Amino acid sequence: MDRRHKEILRQKRRDLVLNLDPEGVYDGLLSRGIFTDDMIDEIKSAGPRRAQARQLARDLETRGSRAFPAFLECLRETGQHMLADLLETGASASVPLPLHLPVQPRVIPLPVWNPVKTERGDVPEKLFPLKPRTLPLARE
């Protein structure tokens, strides 16, 4: 691997560890001859996703001149375009790259209003909150 590519991998290791989905690139790197089945198994046995990403980045440095361009292709094929662009340009990430994690919706309570009917019918003249504006302090 070129010295310049090794340096990019080292400089961007933190971004790789935080944002890389290694499961997505294993097949592409295997089919391109960058890694063997045994090497992929060794990376998978490194532990959780971040440990696998760290090990993959280390091992890529030892895999010859085709490894870096093949890795970029695999990133693009698996939809990890922002990470590929980051490595290709060598620029620093100004904002953290999004993780591919399932999103859990958050319930945000909304204020509830009690309309007061007026002489004009259904149109409320003024809205009043159902809860008091200030909470009473509990005495100990």
Q: In this structure, what CATH number is given to the domain that contains residue 9?
A: 1.10.533.10
Residue 49 contacts residue 78 (beta carbons within 8 Å): no
Reported as a single tens digit per residue, the pLDDT across 9-51 is 899 999 889 999 999 999 999 999 999 999 999 999 999 999 9
Q: Tell me if 126 is assigned to some domain.
A: no
Amino acid identity at 120? R
Can you state the angle between helices 49-60 and 67-77, rounded to 10 degrees? 140
Q: What is the pTM of this model?
A: 0.62
B/e letters for 76-97, b = 16+ CB within 10 Å, e = fewer, are eebebeebbebbeeeeeeeeeb
Is 96 among the domain residues? no
- In a domain, residue 116? The reply is no
- Range of 24's domain? 3-89
In a domain, 78, yes or no: yes
Number of domains within the chain: 1
Q: Please report whether residue 124 resides in a domain.
A: no
104 within some domain:
no
Distance, in Å, from the CA atom of 99 to the CA atom of 16, rounded to the nearest integer, reads 11
Task: Establish if 75 belongs to a structural domain.
Answer: yes
pLDDT digits (tens, 9 = 90+) for 78-136: 999 999 999 888 655 444 555 555 666 777 776 665 555 556 556 555 665 556 556 55
